Amino acid sequence: MTRDAVLGARRIVVKVGSSSVSGANVGQIDPLVDALVATYQRGVEVVLVSSGAIASAIASLNLDGRPQDLATQQAAAAVGQNVLMWRYQTSLDRYGILAGQVLLTAGDLENPTHRSNAQRAMERLLDLRILPIVNENDTVATQEIRFGDNDRLAALVAELIGADLLVLLSDIDALYTRPPGEPGARPIPYVPFDDDLSGVELGDIGAAGVGTGGAGTKIAAAKHAAATGTPVLLTSTANVALALAGGETGTWFQAQSQAIAE
């Protein structure tokens, strides 16, 4: 059922975190783009929500790690967003596909006028067969710097454009019953819409130091998207090609509309 839903999706939002596309993992950008383009070439409309602006500036600014003070975080975001988009566009150039940068805040999607403007711009980019790459506007917005890792933003974007599927990527291949590596940890392949996951022991999903998200933010984002009608697949960045090809991987969050239909 989940494989059919992936292959039947005509509009997909994919979210990737900072630790998956920066530092030692910057080499994952090309395989990620390969998977997105393979999906795009099936005629699917694809939107990428990518964290990584601050993390991408660490080397350029000769920082020892992710800055802790807000002003430096904002400055790093301004520098790193340029680096991040250059990396994506350079990879997309191999296919002759143009990226379009969309910087949003969660507040933009809560303000009716800003929301309408964002929706119109996104729809036009998709009409033009441009790959929108969305990120939190960390230079002016502080909420996403402190909380989450664009997981909530990805769910809001999926809702905004009426996506058929949201794919949340991290360093871990699925949601587990407890933090992976701990005794007894088991992957959870399927989450029914009405499952509150009360028995799950949460731990961070993602490498420490550059990202700000964890299992809790991903579950919250998945639940939001599912409640607004978009099913969610949570898996690792390394498995993105398999996931977008309809392979068995990750954790599937059933959408409310799917639950009602059943």
Residue ranges at the known binding site: 15, 51, 138, 150, 170-171
Are residues 163 and 12 in contact, defined by beta-carbon separation less than 8 angstroms?
yes
**Which value, in Å, is the radius of gyration of the alpha carbons in the chain?**
17
Structure tokens at 127: 């009409």
How many Å apart are CA 207 and CA 186, to the nearest integer?
20
The binding site for ATP consists of 15, 170-171
Binding-site annotation, residues for substrate: 51, 138, 150
Tokens of 53: 């602006």
Region class of 105: left (phi > 0), else alpha (psi between -120 and 50), else beta: beta
d(CA 228, CA 224): 6
